[in-house]
Amino acid sequence: MRFNLARLLEEPVGSKTSFDIDQPQEQLAEDLFVQFVQGTVEFTRTNRGIFGEGPLHSQVQLECARCLETFSQPINFHLEAQFGLPPIEPQQGTIFPIGVKGILDLTDALREQILLALPMRPLCRPDCRGLGLCIECGKNLNEGACDCVQEIVDPRLVGLKELL
C-alpha cells in the first residue's frame, strides 16, 4: 500500500491529508496474509517527517491453537506510525522510511500493528476441544459426540486388566 505524499512533505508542519483504504487480499509478509484492510488513515506533516494514524479493520487467516484448523479472525486496530525521510537516525521507537519522491509504503507499519493486535492463543471458537479424536472410531469430537462406549480405567490398574 503506497501513497504519494510528496505534496504533504512540501507543506508546513501541522498540515494534514487523509486517505480511505479498501485494500483486498494482500500478503504483508511470509507469516501474515490479510483478506482485506479497510479504514481511514490521516497523515500529518511533522518536523521529523509524517505521522500516520487511523482506525483500521482487517481479517487474517490464523491456525487454531487447539485443533490446528485454519480460520478467519477479524482484527480491529488503530494505526499509529512515524515515517521519516532518509537518513533516519536511530531514536527511541520505530520510524519507517519514506521512499524516493515522497512515496510512503504502509506495508511494514500495517504488518507490525496487525501482529500486535493478534490474540496470543487464537481459537477457531471458544468451545474448541482441540485435536479431540475418538480413540475407538476416530470421529472429530468438535463435530459432536461419537456413539462409542468408552470404558474409563484407572491407569494404575491397567496392568491388572491385562491379566484378565
Q: What is the pLDDT of residues 84-125, one digit of tens each?
A: 877 666 665 678 888 888 888 888 888 889 989 999 999 988
The residue segments making up the domain with residue 112 are: 2-117
Give me the number of domains the chain comprises. 2
Over residues 139-156, the pLDDT tens digits come to 777 777 778 776 777 778
Sequence length of the chain is 164
User: Is the whole-model pTM more than 0.85?
Assistant: no
Cα-based torsion angle of the residue sequence 81, 84, 89, 92 in order, rounded to the nearest 10 degrees: -20
**Which residue in this structure is represented by grid cell 511470509?**
30
Alpha-carbon span 77 to 34, nearest angstrom: 13
Q: Would you say residue 125 lies in a domain? A: no
CB proximity list for 163: less than 8 A, separation 6 or greater:
none
Q: Would you say residue 14 lies in a domain? A: yes
